[in-house]
Amino acid sequence: MQEPENKSPAIPVSPQPAVKYQPVKFVHEKGSRFRTYHAAGVWGVVNAESEIHLSFFTEYPRLATGVIHQVNPADGTYTGESQMEGATDPNYYVVVRDFQCSIVMSVESAIRVRGVLDAFIKLAEKSLADRKARAEQRK
């Protein structure tokens, strides 16, 4: 005995709506750990995964670890004399490189960053040249 076939009736195929491409909107938001740093320079390496690792720093002369102000023992007035502690090294002029943050990026990302930097450098150089020209005109 043959079992009856369980066939569903054919469903007519409806045409698919045309794909509508829309503009893409990027919304910029700052994360809770977002910070702005001043960078006087950068130290970098290429890591084992061929990524570029950049560490940004700011530089300044070494700060004194303390300052001693001399006072007159008789009346407690300031004598005008002070002595700084820990600020100097007799053999060197000490500069502190305070590393603020590191950025690790792929080569592709670094190329994009380089493009952005090149564009901003051109704008900044033009702005500086314009400022210098205006200052010369005022003389």
Separation of alpha carbons 135 and 129, rounded Å? 10
DSSP 46-81: E-TTS-EEEEEEEEEEPPPSEEEEEE-TTT--EEEE
**Which residues make Cβ contacts (< 8 Å) with residue 65, sequence separation at least 6?**
85, 86, 87
In this prediction the pTM is 0.64
**For the chain, which residues make up each domain, given as ranges?**
38-105, 106-139
103-135 confidence digits (pLDDT tens): 999 999 999 999 999 999 999 999 999 999 999
| Token pair for 75 | 């009346």
Position 9 scores a pLDDT of 66
Position 4 scores a pLDDT of 61
Q: What is the pLDDT averaged over residues 98-107?
A: 96
**Which residues make Cβ contacts (< 8 Å) with residue 108, sequence separation at least 6?**
none
